[in-house]
Amino acid sequence: MIGGLFIYNHKGEVLISRVYRDDIGRNAVDAFRVNVIHARQQVRSPVTNIARTSFFHVKRSNIWLAAVTKQNVNATMVFEFLYKMCDVMAAYFGKISEENVKNNFVLIYELLDEILDFGYPQNSETGALKTFITQQGIKSQSKEEQAQITSQVTGQIGWRREGIKYRRNELFLDVLESVNLLMSPQGQVLSAHVSGRVVMKSYLSGMPECKFGMNDKIVIDKQNKGGSSEEGGKSGKQSIAIDDCTFHQCVRLSKFDSERSISFIPPDGDYELMRYRTTKDIILPFRVIPLVREVGRTKLEVKVVIKSNFKSSLLAQKIEVRIPTPLNTSGVQLICMKGKAKYKASENAIVWKIKRMAGMKESQISAEIELLPTNDKKWARPPISMNFEVPFAPSGLKVRYLKVFEPKLNYSDHDVIKWVRYIGRSGIYETRC
Amino acid sequence: MTDSKYFTTTKKGEIFELKAELNSDKKEKKKEAVKKVIASMTVGKDVSALFPDVVNCMQTDNLELKKLVYLYLMNYAKSQPDMAIMAVNTFVKDCEDPNPLIRALAVRTMGCIRVDKITEYLCEPLRKCLKDEDPYVRKTAAVCVAKLHDINAQLVEDQGFLDTLKDLISDSNPMVVANAVAALSEIAESHPNSNLLDLNPQTINKLLTALNECTEWGQIFILDCLANYTPRDDRESQSICERVTPRLSHANSAVVLSAVKVLMKFMEMLPKDLDYYGTLLKKLAPPLVTLLSAEPELQYVALRNINLIVQRRPEILKHEMKVFFVKYNDPIYVKLEKLDIMIRLASQANIAQVLAELKEYATEVDVDFVRKAVRAIGRCAIKVEQSAERCVSTLLDLIQTKVNYVVQEAIVVIKDIFRKYPNKYESVIATLCENLDSLDEPEARAAMIWIVGEYAERIDNADELLESFLEGFHDESTQVQLQLLTAIVKLFLKKPTETQELVQQVLSLATQDSDNPDLRDRGYIYWRLLSTDPVAAKEVVLAEKPLISEETDLIEPTLLEELICHIGTLASVYHKPPSAFVEGSRGVQHKRLPGSAGSGESVDSPDPGSAAGASEAPPAVIPSQGDLLGDLLNLDLTPPTTTGPPPAPSSGMQLGAMDLLGGGLDSLLGGDLGGGAAMGAGFGAAPAAMPASFSAPVSGGLDDLFDLGGGVGMPMGAYSPPKTIWLPAMKAKGLEISGTFARRAGVIQMEMTLTNKAMSVMTDFAIQFNRNSFGLAPAGPLQILTPLSPNQSIEASLPLSTVGPVMKMEPLTNLQVAVKNNIDVFYFSCQYPISMLFVEDGKMERQVFLATWKDIPNDNESQFQIKDCHLSSDATSNKLQGSNVFTIAKRTVEGQDMLYQSMKLTNGIWVLAELRVQTGNPNYTVSLKCRAPEVSQCVFQSYEAMLKN
C-alpha cells in the first residue's frame, strides 16, 4: 500500500510529508526531488522506480503530489487516490497552490490522517469529511452528533447525512458533453466520440430516492417491444446508443446491470452523477476544411473554411480556430469574413475568434504566411484545432425524467423544481492539414 | 490568520524559543508552537530535541492540538523510545474516551508508533477496539492489526488478533469488512503458506455482498482479494463473474480495473462454447475504452494493462483500433503506449488505416515517438503480409526525408522485412546503400552490414562497402564487429576470388587483435571451418534461415499469465513480476491463472499428446537472447549486450524493455505452460541409456527453455541461509553484526544487520574484504547513511562483485572482513554458501554435458550422501533451480530417479552433478564431477543446505 505522501512546490521544496510505512525513509523525499522534479530530461512516465522504490506523481499547476511505495500496490488506486486528494483539498480551500497548501498545512495533515490509514484509502467524500474536519478547528459535538458522524463515515450512504432540510426543493441538471474529432485533410472522420457528464446540484430534503431516465437505446427498445411497431420506428431515431457509462458511487450498479435503471440517493449539493461515451450518430457541430499550399520555399497560403452543422435557430458561442504556423514564420497577412483573427508568434499559431455563429452558416479565413529560409527539417504540420460551445448535446442525449421520492417527508415529485440544461463543448476537435 | 508563516521562521536559537512557547500556560501559544514544530519537521529540520515538551502538550481536550502532537509522536517516537513511554498513559486513556472519534484516533496513532515497549501496551486497548460498538472504531482497529503485525508478527499471532480479524469479515458494517479484508490480505502476503484468508464459498458470498455497499476504496480491497480465489468449478466461476460485472460501470478506474482482473482470471475457467463466455467478452471492451478518457496518468496505467489484455485475449478489443489513435496533445508516455497497442491490434481489416496513422506519426517532433512509429511500420509489414509492399514503400519515402534517425530506424526494420520475405524486396537495396554514410548507430550499422552480406551477390561493390567498415573495426561496438565478421565470411563464400584478402584481414582482426571472447571464438570457428572444409562452411554459413515469426515483442507466456493476475498493480505497469522490484518476502509468490474447464484434467496428465491437444498452443516468441548455436548460424538474434538492462538491482526500472536476464524471469522459465508437451517429447520417452537422452535435436532451443518442471509448482527463489552472528558486540565495542548472503537477480548480496549495543552513536561505516578464493569484493561502499543511535538496528545490503583479488582460502569459502566505524576497526570472518556463486547461465547443453562428464577424469569424482531429505525428484530439481542448479536431464531406472545437473561458478568453473533419488528412501546420493575437485566439498554442503531449507 501507499508508504508515504509528499507535496512539493515547483522548486522541489517539501510542503507536506506524511510517511505511513516504515520502509519509506526520509531519503525518499530527496530521491524524488533529485530524480524527477530536478531531472534534466522531461519526465517520461508518471510512475518512476528509483532504487526499488516506486513514485507516483501528478501535478496541479506547479505543485507536485507524489505517493511512494515499496510494494506491488494497486497503481490505478494510487492515482485515483491522488486525484481524490486534490479534489478534497480543492473543496476545502480552493485552488491548489503553494500559498494555499502552506496556509492549510495543519488541515492537510489532519485530512491525510483521516483518509489514508496505514496507506489504505478510507472514506474520502468531502461531504462526510466536512462534518468533522473543518478549517476552523474541530467543532465540539454532542454524543448524538458523534454517533451520526461515525455511522455516516462508515455507513452504506457515506455521501449524505440525515436530517437535511430545504424550504424549496430544487434540482439542477446539466448535461455537459465534449465532442472529440480527428479528421483527415480530405474530410474523412478518423475518430470521433463524445464524452459526456451528467452533473447535478441537488437541494432536496431528507433522504430522497431518485430515478433518472434518458433516451438510452437499450431501455427504449425494451419498452417498445410491448408497444406498437410504429412508435418503435419513431423513437428509434431519437434514442442513442451509449458505448459505456460509469456512475457516481451513489448509483446502485447491480440494479443498472440487471434492469438498466439508474436509481440512487443523491449527495447534497454538487456532484457528477454519471459519465458516458458515445461514438455512433454524433452530430459534429462544425466542419473544418483546410487548404494549405506551399508557394516556393518562403511562402505558404492557407485557407480555412468552417461550416456550422446544426439547426439554424441555435447559436454557437466562443468559437476559436487555431491554425498552426511554421516556426520560421516571419510575417502573416490575414483576411477573415467574420470575427477577429490574429497571428500569435509566441504560440506559433493564427488564432481566429468568432463570438457567435448560427447553424447552417459558413465562414472563411485566408492567410499568407511569409517564411524565413531555413535548413530545418520539414515542418510537421500540426492539426488545426477548434473550440466552441453549443446549446445542445452532440450525442443526441435527452433527459426523459428525473423522479424524486421521499416517503418520509411531505413533498412529492411535483413539488421539486427541476432545471435541465444541455451544453456541448469541443474536446479535442482537430482536423489535419 | 494564515499558517504559512510557520514555514518562515529560520532564526537562530529557534529551538529554545519553541521550548519556552511549548511550556507556556496559554493554550493558544502552545498550539502555535506545536504548529511551528510540525512545519519545521516537514521541511526536514530535526526537532526531536523538543520531544518531552511536545509530549507534555498531549494531555489536552483540544482535538486539533492532540492530532498535531500525535503527528509529531509518529515521527520521532522511534528515536526516543524511552520518552515515548510517557505518552502511553494518555493513549490508553483515550482508548476509553466516550467520543468514538478519539478512541479511533488513539488506536490509529498507537499502531503507527513503532516502539516495542509501546506495542505491549497496545494489545489490550486494541482488543477492546476490535469489539467496539462503533463501526468507525472497529474499522480503524482492523487496520491497526496489520500495523501491529508489521512490527511484531509473533505478538499478533499469540494474542489471537488474527481470529478476531477473521470474524470481522462477517461484520454488519461494509467498511469494517473492507478494512478487515485489506488487513488480512496484507498479512497473508507475508505468510504465503498460511491459510489465513481461507477463502471458501461462504466468505466469498459475504465479500460479494459487502462489495455492493462499501466505499469505492473498499470495493477495490475486496476485488483484489477476490482475485486470489480459485473457484471450484465453472458454475461458481460464472456466478462470481455475474456479481462482479456491475462494477465495470463504476466511476473509479481502480474499481473497474480490479473487476477486469477478477473477470480475466475467472474467465479462464469458463468453457468457451458457453454463451455467457461470449457475453462477458463483449462486456469487457467498453469499460477498457472508457479508461482512455480518464486523466493521462490513469490512461498510462490503463494502456500498460490493455497491452497485457490484448496479448492474452486479442478478441476483446479487436474492433476498437480507432480509440488508440494518438492525439497530438497526448503526453509522450501515453503516445508510446498507444502505438504499441495499435501494432498488436493491426490486422488485415484495419491495416490501411493503421498505416496512414503511422506515416503521420513519423513526421512528429519527439524523437523516441518517431522512431517507434517507423519501427511499427516494419512490424506491420511482418504481421500483415498483404500490407508488406505498402509498408516497404512507406519506409522508402521516409528514407528520402534524410532525417538521420528516421533513416537508421527504417534500415533496422527493413532488415527484419528481408528476413520475413526473402528475395522479394531486394530492389530497395540500392536506395539503402546510398545512406550508408549517415548511419552512426550500432544497430543500424549492423543491420546494413547484414543486408550487404546477405545479398552480396547482387551488390556489385559489396567488397568495397564492407571494406570501408573495416577501417575502424576496433572502434565499432561488438554487435557491428560480429555482424561484419559474418558478412565478410558470407561475401567470401559467395565471391571467393576477389575477397580472399579481405576475409583474412577480418579473421585476423577478430582473432588476434580483439579482447572480446565472443568475437574471437566466432572468428576461430569460421577460420577452422573455412580451412578444413569450405563446402561444409558454405552449407553452414549460407544455410537457409528459418523465417522470423509474425509477432515480436510478445511477453513470454508464463510471465504474461502471472501479470494478468496482477492487473491494475505496479507489476502490470512495469511488466515485471513483483519479485523483480519488491524486497523481502512480499510478492514473491507467483500467481497463476486457473486452468480452463476443458483442459483442467489434462494439465497434469503425463500423456504429452492430450496435453498438447487441450492446452492452447502458446504463441511463438522470438527469444531476444539467442543460444550460441543460433548465433553462429547467423540467425541474427541480437547479441545479449544490447538486450535488456543489466540485472543490477539498483539500476532504474526500464519500462517496456523486458528483462530477460533478470533473476525473476529466469526462475519463471521453469513454469509449465506448454511444458507438459515439451517435457513429454524431451524426456517422456525414457531412453534406456544416458547418451540417447542427450542426442535430442539441437534445434530444440526454445523447447529447452520450457522443458523443465512440467506440471510442477513454481521454483522457489535462490536459497539464502538464515542470518548468523558474525561479530558479537563483546568483541567490537558494542557493534554487533549478523548477516547472511543472498543472490538476487544475478547479484550477490551480503545482507547484514548492524546493531548498536553501545551507549554512543556510531557513524562513518565502511567495509573491506581480504583477498579470497573467488575474488569477492564490495561492488560499492557500505550504504549506511544515518548515524546508528544506541539500541538501534539497521539493515544493510551490500552488493558484491567477483572481480576482486583472488587468494585461495582455507576453508575455500572463507571470507575475512574488516568493518570500520567512528570508534575503531573490527575484523571477523564468515563463510558464504558456494551456491551464491552459481551463475544464471549455468545450464549446459546436453551434448556438452555428456562430453564434459566423460572428459573429466574419474579421480575428480566425489560422492556424498544427503540424509533425511523428503522431496520428490521434481520438487528437488525445482528447488535447486531457484539457486541456479540446472537439471539438464532426468531418467528413471528401477524406481530410482537420476537427475543430471550443471552449475557454473562466477569464475567459470563448471560443476556437474548426478543426483540419485529413490522414492521412499530419504537418503540421496550425489556424485560431483569438476575439473577443480577442491570445490566439491563446498558444493555438496550447499546441496544439503538448499535441499533441507
**pLDDT tens per residue across span B484-499:** 999 999 999 988 888 8
Quote the Cα angle for A36-A41-A45, to 5°.
Answer: 55
- How many CB atoms neighbour CB B664 within 10 A? 22
A204: distance to nearest CA of chain B, Å?
23
Q: Is A322 on the interface with B (CB under 8 A)?
A: no
Q: Do A428 and B98 touch (CB under 8 A)?
A: no
Interface test with A, best of B6, B42, B116, B326 (most A CBs within 10 A): B42
Instruction: Residue B287: name the closest of B568, B551, B535, B27 by CA.
Output: B568
Q: Do A47 and B301 touch (CB under 8 A)?
A: yes
Q: Is A305 on the interface with B (CB under 8 A)?
A: no
Quote the Cα angle for B122-B125-B128, to 5°.
Answer: 140
Q: Which of residues 340-369 of A touch B (CB under 8 A)?
A: none
Contact by Cβ (8 Å): B338, B326: yes
Instruction: Give me the residue label for grid cell 561505516.
Output: B765
- How many CB atoms neighbour CB A15 within 10 A? 20
Copy the grid coordinates of residue B394. Answer: 512507406
Instruction: In whole angstroms, give the CA distance from residue B856 to residue B846.
Output: 16
Pairing of strands B886-893, A340-344: unpaired
Q: Cβ contacts (< 8 Å) between A75 and chain B: which residues?
A: 301, 568-570, 572-573
Q: What is the DSSP string of B831-856?
A: E--GGGGB-TT-PPPHHHHHHHHHHS
Which string of b and e fits B45-55 if b means at least 16 CB within 10 Å? eebbebbebbb
Q: Which helix (H) or strand (E) holds A121?
A: strand A120-121
Instruction: In whole angstroms, give the CA distance from residue A355 to residue A340.
Output: 9
Helical packing angle, B534-541 and B517-532, nearest 10°: 130
Q: Do B587 and A72 touch (CB under 8 A)?
A: yes
Instruction: Residue B567: name the closest of B264, B184, B925, B788 by CA.
Output: B264
pLDDT, position B324: 94
Instruction: Residue B250: name the closest of B290, B281, B222, B221 by CA.
Output: B290
Which string of b and e fits B431-454 if b means at least 16 CB within 10 Å? ebbebeeebebbbbbbbbbbbbbb
Instruction: In whole angstroms, give the CA distance from residue B820 to residue B470.
Output: 52
- The whole-angstrom distance between residue B45's C-alpha and the CA centroid of its chain comes to 37
pLDDT, position A335: 93
Q: Which amino acid is at B339?
A: L
Task: Write phi, then psi, for B346 (nearest 5 degrees).
Answer: -60, 135
Instruction: In whole angstroms, give the CA distance from residue B282 to residue B290.
Output: 14
Q: Chain A residue with minimal CA distance to B334?
A: A45
Q: Is A169 on the interface with B (CB under 8 A)?
A: no
Q: Chain A residue with minimal CA distance to B580?
A: A52
Instruction: In whole angstroms, give the CA distance from residue B47 to residue B459.
Output: 76
Task: Tell me, letter by letter, the H, E, C secondary structure of A326-365.
Answer: CCCEEEEEEEECCCEEEEEHHHCEEEEEEEEEECCCEEEE
Q: Do B323 and A193 touch (CB under 8 A)?
A: yes
Q: Chain A residue with minimal CA distance to B249?
A: A246
A125: distance to nearest CA of chain B, Å?
9
Instruction: Residue B312: name the closest of B355, B361, B268 by CA.
Output: B268
Q: Chain B residue with minimal CA distance to A112?
A: B71
CA distances from A193 to A175, A216, A395, B358, B427 (A): 16, 16, 8, 21, 43
Instruction: In whole angstroms, give the CA distance from residue A10 to residue A6.
Output: 13
pLDDT, position B12: 58
A358: distance to nearest CA of chain B, Å?
29
Interface test with A, best of B28, B189, B190, B297 (most A CBs within 10 A): B297
Instruction: In whole angstroms, give the CA distance from residue B652 to residue B17.
Output: 44
Residue B928 DSSP label: E
A257: distance to nearest CA of chain B, Å?
5
Q: Which of A118, A249, A432 sits opposite B216 (nearest CB)?
A: A249
Residues of chain B under the 70 pLDDT cut: 1-2, 8-13, 192-194, 550-552, 584-589, 595-718
Residues 6+ away with beta carbon under 8 Å from B310: B316, B317, B341, B344, B345
Copy the grid coordinates of residue B330. Answer: 497526448
Helical packing angle, A75-93 and B253-267, nearest 10°: 160
Instruction: In whole angstroms, give the CA distance from residue B290 to residue B284.
Output: 11
CA distances from A407 to A168, A251, A401, B674 (A): 17, 19, 19, 62
Give the residues across from B190 on adjacent strands: none
Q: Which helix (H) or strand (E) holds B888?
A: strand B886-893
Largest CA distance in chain B: 103
Q: What is the DSSP string of A272-340?
A: EEEEEEE-SS---SEEEEEEEEEETTTEEEEEEEEEE-S-TT-EEEEEEEEEE--TTEEEEEEEESSSE
Q: Do B297 and A56 touch (CB under 8 A)?
A: yes
Q: Chain B residue with minimal CA distance to A133?
A: B64
Q: Which stretches of A126-278 are assigned E, i.e. beta strand? A: 170-183, 189-203, 209-214, 244-247, 262-264, 269-278
Which string of b and e fits B626-640 if b means at least 16 CB within 10 Å? bbeebbbbbbbbebb
CA atoms within a 13 Å half-sphere pointing along the CA-CB vector of A79:
28
**Whether the bond into B639 is cis, omega within 30 of 0:** no
Q: Chain B residue with minimal CA distance to A28?
A: B44
- CA dihedral B685→B686→B692→B695, nearest 10 degrees, is 50
CA atoms within a 13 Å half-sphere pointing along the CA-CB vector of A263:
13
Instruction: In whole angstroms, give the CA distance from residue B317 to residue B281.
Output: 9
Helix or strand or coil: residue B400? helix
Q: What is the DSSP string of B36-61?
A: HHHHHHHTT---GGGHHHHHHTTS-S
Instruction: In whole angstroms, give the CA distance from residue B118 to residue B566.
Output: 36
Q: Which of residues 363-402 of A touch B (CB under 8 A)?
A: 377-378, 380-383, 385
- The whole-angstrom distance between residue A52's C-alpha and the CA centroid of its chain comes to 33
Contact by Cβ (8 Å): A277, B290: yes
Give the residues across from B16 on adjacent strands: none
Q: Which of residues 197-236 of A touch B (CB under 8 A)?
A: none
Q: Do B35 and A106 touch (CB under 8 A)?
A: yes
Q: Which of A14, A141, A277 sits opposite B293 (nearest CB)?
A: A277
Which pTM value belongs to this model?
Answer: 0.70
Q: Which of A49, A113, A191 sits opposite B581 (nearest CB)?
A: A49
Q: Chain A residue with minimal CA distance to B76?
A: A19
Instruction: Residue A132: name the closest of A115, A156, A157 by CA.
Output: A115
Which string of b and e fits B789-810 if b means at least 16 CB within 10 Å? beebebebbbbbebebeeeebe
CA distances from A20 to A3, A295, B155, B336 (A): 5, 64, 21, 34
Given strand A262-264, what is the order of strands in its sheet?
A262-264, A209-214, A399-405
Interface test with B, best of A2, A20, A77, A93 (most B CBs within 10 A): A77
Residues of chain A under the 50 pLDDT cut: 228-236
A167: distance to nearest CA of chain B, Å?
31
Average pLDDT along chain B: 80
Q: Is A34 on the interface with B (CB under 8 A)?
A: no
Sign, CA torsion B260/B262/B267/B270 = negative
Task: Write phi, then psi, for A363 (nearest 5 degrees).
Answer: -150, 155
Given strand B886-893, what is the order of strands in its sheet?
B862-866, B924-930, B910-918, B896-904, B886-893
pLDDT, position B703: 37
CA atoms within a 13 Å half-sphere pointing along the CA-CB vector of B183:
34
Interface test with A, best of B38, B62, B134, B136 (most A CBs within 10 A): B136
| Number of CB pairs, chain A paired with chain B, less than 8 A apart | 289
Rounded (to 5) percent helix, strand, coil in chain B: 55, 10, 35
Contact by Cβ (8 Å): B482, B473: no
Q: Chain A residue with minimal CA distance to B144?
A: A118
Interface test with A, best of B36, B219, B252 (most A CBs within 10 A): B252
Q: Do A275 and B251 touch (CB under 8 A)?
A: yes
Whether the complex's predicted ipTM is more than 0.90 is answered with no
Q: Do A105 and B353 touch (CB under 8 A)?
A: no
Q: Cβ contacts (< 8 Å) between A244 and chain B: which residues?
A: 249, 286-287, 289-290
